[in-house]
Chains A and B, each alone.
Chain A
């Protein structure tokens, strides 16, 4: 059995990617199971999805804790201590990262012991679809890594997308992009041994009683939300041209996250630590003083 885990951010397409892979495997005659897990349903929040592919009926459910393959659709998640996308990856397994880095660079940068493959899926998405929604592309990459057929991938993308979009041209572009990604990587061979899990056995304990000062679901600590920078979610950063800015403040009023501040001279500027890159400011600016530049670098998640 192959166990794959996709990691992305809400809106990026991890859930649909796992479905594309599951359906492609099903069409190739395998038993398949896919399962997404997300908490708050909001854009940008970490999302994981699991796909199991097997020649025999699948006797597992839920999140895959020891994957053979991990697809990291957003490389900023690699530094998120709550997500830890490569946790549990088996020795000899494969981690595919959506990044502009080379595999060697990524392996060092993120201290990954498993095999690393890289592909700038975001760039392919922008070039071929005009948007950084990467579901079918990541599905295509995964289908190649596990050795599924191109025909089944094509049919799976058509089937899954026709359930959620009606735009035939966008659907065709997705098919093309998925197949492009399918052929863009040369998969390493997965070299798993059956005894490769290095995880420690967990022990069942007796949970002791604790008084309600501890055991009621109340949070006594002061809020720590400001420590959690959301700027690393950005695919694009708003880019300012102050020559034409009239200080009309429409951008300040329209920013949904309060991330546009005003400097001493009365000019607005972006709080890049927290701006999620929604680009509403770019849309709203009446003098076109705001443009967009793609982010390719990663930043720390928790404040310095």
Chain B
């Protein structure tokens, strides 16, 4: 093992290299392209033995990746935002094939207006597809999660594809120290994929992905996928334990930060959680018993772990870095549904923040934490609120005037 400064994208590429992936179909998109460029260079330099193919679109790319996976190859691909949506049809198709493809999504806000920086509407749009989802906070976690993802996806109790998510710019282009494990160590953790259900062998022909009509077969196949995804919760724990034994790093389905003894909890995902943790430290200095829960496994949704962690807290604020237009924060809705039938449940507040990579400053976190505390005092969760500052509103006014909007 050695440690070096890597971007989130380079860490992703290292995960793919160490997983000794067979086949990588690609299509470029900012802020993901560095991943496939890095892999291309390694393959060209002869330090990585994989088949690398440039495709004509994300739709073709996902089809190729899923198909390769259905022949029994270990496949990888990566995309972001508009690209994920362009290939969207194939997400459902590939998941239905029950193949263990691992894909990285580098989160980026969706058009319109077009932008480059991250929020999670792209990856959360894929939440119903059958792909499992692991969301990462650090560059180290990106590398490690790719290794864990192959183990989890290839497990016979699961056999569903996985998206490993990281934030564009804030992680994809941010370098921080990353421990790169030795390939031997990784081989012990992640043995060769031995497909039993979907492979390509002349002596054993099969037709994959049959058409069905009438609904009963369809229902059967879809519900089997759901149960496989639910199985992944227990399998994930085993993978997590084995990963910790091998590499000394623990990644549970959720991560608690100062959660023991906390009365007020922030729930976040991905790289902005680092800022949330700093805000928790600040709140603790002010004598407020704050903590943070970071959702790492978003599909399957870790309902039991989540309930155990927050049902007896005073109040929880879900900070959604996404917006379901016409409803509000996506994760807020999901968490609310977990808690509804609980005897003890916290006051649940909803905030929308960090859309399109908008920074969440310490002042804004302080506002959120104060809102939680007053919410408990007044027993009023209020309505969902966009976190937006007076300075940003002034700047928006300046831009509107520049654009000729009066």
Contact = CB atoms under 8 A, between A and B. Distances in A.
B170 A61 contact: yes
Given A204-B389, A220-B405, A62 B176 contact: no
Contacts of A220: 403-405
B209 interface: no
Interface residues of B, number: 42
A2 B185 CA distance: 36
A248 B385 CA distance: 65
A221 B404 CA distance: 4
Interface in A234-253: none
Given A19-B175, A33-B174, A202 B390 contact: yes
A204 B319 CA distance: 15
Nearest to B114: A217
A31 interface: yes
A37 interface: yes
B275 A60 contact: yes
A152 B27 CA distance: 37
Given A202-B389, A205-B388, A31 B404 contact: no
Contacts of B261: none
Contact of A218 (B116, B274, B281, B403): B403
Contacts of A219: 403-404
A214 interface: yes
A61 B5 contact: no
B402 interface: yes
Q: Specify which of A26, A204, A218, A220 lies most central, judged by the most chain B CB atoms within 10 Å of its CB.
A: A204
A203 interface: yes
Interface string B253-278: 00000000000000000011011011
Contacts of A222: 404
A108 interface: no
A206 interface: yes
B391 A23 contact: no
Chain A binding site: helix, strand, loop or mixed by DSSP? loop
A278 interface: no
Contacts of A35: 169-170, 173-175
Contact of B271 (A34, A61, A63, A217): A61
Contacts of B357: 62
B271 A213 contact: no
Nearest to B271: A61
Interface in B360-406: 361, 363-364, 367, 385-393, 400, 402-406
Given A22-B5, A203-B390, A217-B112, A59 B403 contact: no
Interface string B277-315: 110010000000000000000000000000000000000
Given A19-B5, A26-B5, 4 more contacts: A36-B173, A61-B174, A204-B388, A207-B393
Interface of A: 19, 22-23, 26, 31-37, 39, 41, 58-63, 65, 201-207, 213-214, 217-222, 224
